[in-house]
Structure 1
Amino acid sequence: MQQPLAYRMRPTKIEDIVGQQDLVGPGKIINRMVKAKMLSSMILYGPPGTGKTSIASAIAGSTKYAFRVLNAATDTKKDLQIVAEEAKMSGTVVLLLDEIHRLDKTKQDFLLPLLEKGTIILIGATTENPYISINPAVRSRTQIFQVHPLSPQDIQLAVQRALKDKKRGLGQFQVHLTDDAMDFLSTATNGDLRSALNGLELAVKSTPKDRHGIIQVDLSVIEECLQRQSLSADKNGDAHYDVISAFQKSIRGSDVDAALHYASRLIEAGDLISLIRRLLVIAYEDVGLANPAACERAVSAVSAAKQLGLPEARIPLANAIIELCLSPKSNSAMTAIDNALSDVKAGHYGEIPLWLKDAHYKGAKKLGHGVEYKYPHDFPNDWVKQQYLPDKIKNAQYYHPKDNGKIEKALKEQYLRLRRSFNQ
């Protein structure tokens, strides 16, 4: 039986990995490890289909080390012993241990000394937060890297490769994948490349050729093979982003019913990732300091939604959407940081005042570092007038508070009172 397309298209070298360029791109940490052949054990965590196995496979392929795959939940200590014996006989083995968060103590105790010696390069894969779900003894011997859902552009690149590859992919078929089908395939799978490739393979192999011998894969075929409706993608691919834009603008404009409508489009399309990402952006960009508690509750709702998954995820998200819609709004925090970034990018910064420089090392006093620093807690009300900005921009003002909501009104009063005291 032939392996699924997603399995066959796994990269064999680091340069072929799609996505996760912050880890495997030129000059990035995993790429550097591979180039130097100085591998260390690691844990990769993130959603399904985002490339954890692909990274492990590519690391092994690029370094020419043997590559083995086990599952911490279903494979036994004896399976680990077989891998360990192989490593002793032939040298280093790269072991991908899936579901590493389910590693029991017996297997863990067997693995730990092998990790210490470097006999086995362990690459643990998990969808769970390793800082919570993985034993500290394992964490302390590994580096932890987070992988993220792939972008639509990443998925389109992988799909194009699969359609052209005659040896491992679908290159032996003459396929015409329409633009709207490609757009939907790359967005409706929520950054899960495995789902996209396997859906593509089903579409190609289950669609008869036309009279010219070409397999026509259009939007309706992809919808059927993915079992999702195209509610957030249209023929030119713009509607996916239009729905997200309309969702944010509806919350910004305090229209509860419109926001729930656009959220429902994303939910029905199965696009939970786009919905929760956008909701977090909205909370801090559009509500912000006018209602910080609403932002915190939005984060909690997103966390609950991730754990629940669809369809139950719709319930905490609806709570957050309604509250954000009806909350006072303020973008002052976003504007403030953008103002500060604009100054820095334009080169408007100067020397850090001597009294603010690090003084926790021998010889700092000779350089004048920290000598005139006034410790605010030594003064009444834990405040003292002191310059913090460099001389060049000492009068800069980035934050311009608003009066929307009780919290930011109070912050505004405090901010203006402190500025007056600084300028006296």
Structure 2
Amino acid sequence: MTTEPLASRMRPRNIDEVIAQQHLVGDSGIIRRMVQAQRLSSMIFYGPPGIGKTSIAQAIAGSTAFKFRQLNAVTNTKKDMQLIVEEAKMSGQVILLLDEIHRLDKAKQDFLLPHLENGKIVLIGATTSNPYHAINPAIRSRAQIFELYPLGPDDIKQALKKALEDDERGLKSYDATIDDDAFEYFATQSQGDVRSALNALELAVLSANTKPAHITLQDAEDCLQRGAFLSDKDGDMHYDVMSAFQKSIRGSDVDAALHYLARLIQAGDLPTIARRLLVISYEDIGLASPSAGQRTLAAIEAAERLGFPEARIPLSQAVIELCLSPKSNSAITSIDGALSDIRKGHVGQIPDHLRDGHYSGAKELGRAIGYKYPHSYDSGFVAQQYLPNKLKNKQYYQPKETSKTEQQMKQIYENIKKQQK
């Protein structure tokens, strides 16, 4: 009896057996074209776990005459790589699948680079991290970068069906039957991770109480648990979810925002949710509803005291309010405009009348006491220059008119500007 997991046994033997990723291995896909021409270049596959990075690498090798070797950038040594290079020198060319390539250290990288240049090694790097951020430019420049996508439920069903019907590598010998709702659970709750779905199916079959095995929905739930939720707190998928969360609130789409909130809640990441909601309340709602920030903070504090699962209630309330609030980004654009000028060196001398009383020796240097105290005037305002001369006509604040609150602010702002001219 083999101990090799079902997902490993069912890996495609050539690119015709690859499930999904048709943008790469379909009839006009670039990888299929490279295989057909027998001209491979080094490449990097990136995407979430369990979507076929290793499988496609093995399928490429199975569709060509090249030898295939697999190493891990962390656990395998430079000596392991040297052995593969020697093999490549004798056989002509070797496909090297290097898992976790984003963790390749400089010594191993420097060793590999010349062999990538001369074509002896066709490197296929696999990573769950964004290669444009995580992989050294020297490697990136020598490889094509391909993004792989999570499989859809229909793709997962296809893989499960093949496994159940395959007599050589699959589970056909067990003559297992599976209820429709259990089959659906495996396909949908694996969240695009075919490896998770296949291994859960195998566990259900091997641990079944009946012979032949009969898999129910309860069996599927027991073996897959909550599913392979795609939101690794340290991975790119997590940041994609956060980005979609904020953009959905900014776009006033309550349903989408609640969906992404649910994904973050499922990941148990309360600190990230709290921080992002607070940012949104000031960045995207801002002066259109100035009290939204206070109410969001109150909801966050309630959530932190409650903890999950009850924390979902105040968080949901905050998200719904932020989605349906009028939006204004004038606060962030205003300060970013001012910061941009500072960074460009547009500073200027502080007007003398603003320095009086705070700068030692000002009177002795003959500066005029020109400051006018606004509270000495009936309206609480008096026109005078506050910006340096070189910036005196600058307007950083560009009011929005998305709410009555900021419309009123705009009117006050414009009146003050008129009086200052």
The TM-score bracket by the shorter chain reads 0.5 to 0.7
- Residue 208 of structure 1 and its aligned partner are, at CA, apart by 3.2
- Residue 154 of structure 1 and its aligned partner are, at CA, apart by 0.9
Structure 1 residue aligned with 2:220, among 218, 222, 230? 222
Counterparts in 2 of 1:115 and 1:408: CA distance versus 1, 3 Å: farther
Structure 2 residue aligned with 1:316, among 262, 265, 272? 272
Equivalent runs, 1:140-155 vs 2, <5 Å: 140-155=141-156
Question: Is 2:321 the partner of 1:326?
Answer: yes
1:18–1:158 contact (8 Å) kept in structure 2: yes
**Unaligned residue ranges in structure 1 (runs of 5+):** 230-268, 332-401, 410-424
1:149-171 deviations in Å (ceiling 9; x for gaps): 11111111100010011001111
2:200–2:223 contact (8 Å) kept in structure 1: yes
Q: Which amino acid aligns with 1:104?
A: D
Aligned to 1:29: 30
Question: Is 2:251 the partner of 1:288?
Answer: yes
Aligned to 2:57: 56
TM-score by length of 1: 0.60
1:290–1:406 contact (8 Å) kept in structure 2: no
1:9–1:169 contact (8 Å) kept in structure 2: yes
**Unaligned residue ranges in structure 2 (runs of 5+):** 278-314, 327-399, 408-421
Q: Which amino acid aligns with 2:221?
A: E
Aligned to 1:257: none
Tell me how far apart the structure 1 counterparts of residues 3 and 173 of structure 2 sit (CA, whole Å): 15
Aligned to 2:4: 3
Equivalent runs, 1:329-344 vs 2, <5 Å: 329=324
Tell me how far apart the structure 2 counterparts of residues 70 and 283 of structure 1 sit (CA, whole Å): 39
Secondary structure in 2 aligned to 1:172?
helix
Counterparts in 2 of 1:96 and 1:271: CA distance versus 1, 3 Å: closer
Aligned to 1:170: 171
2:178–2:214 contact (8 Å) kept in structure 1: yes
2:41–2:144 contact (8 Å) kept in structure 1: yes
Secondary structure in 2 aligned to 1:222?
helix
2:51–2:151 contact (8 Å) kept in structure 1: yes
How much is the aligned-residue C-alpha RMSD, in angstroms?
3.7
Out of 114-123 and 310-319, give the one that drifted further.
310-319
Question: Across the two proteins, how many residue pairs are aligned to each other?
Answer: 290
Q: Which amino acid aligns with 1:76?
A: T
- Residue 79 of structure 1 and its aligned partner are, at CA, apart by 0.6
2:95–2:122 contact (8 Å) kept in structure 1: yes
Aligned to 1:187: 188
Tell me how far apart the structure 1 counterparts of residues 125 and 202 of structure 2 sit (CA, whole Å): 28
- Residue 312 of structure 1 and its aligned partner are, at CA, apart by 3.5
2:73–2:104 contact (8 Å) kept in structure 1: yes
Larger radius of gyration: 2
2:12–2:18 contact (8 Å) kept in structure 1: yes
Percent identity between matched residues is: 50
Aligned to 1:336: none
Counterparts in 2 of 1:139 and 1:164: CA distance versus 1, 3 Å: same
1:50–1:148 contact (8 Å) kept in structure 2: yes
Secondary structure in 2 aligned to 1:27?
coil
- Residue 404 of structure 1 and its aligned partner are, at CA, apart by 5.6
Aligned to 1:120: 121
Aligned to 1:235: none
1:307-355 deviations in Å (ceiling 9; x for gaps): xx96442543466464541125499xxxxxxxxxxxxxxxxxxxxxxxx
1:59-91 deviations in Å (ceiling 9; x for gaps): 110113111100000001111011111111112
TM-score by length of 2: 0.61
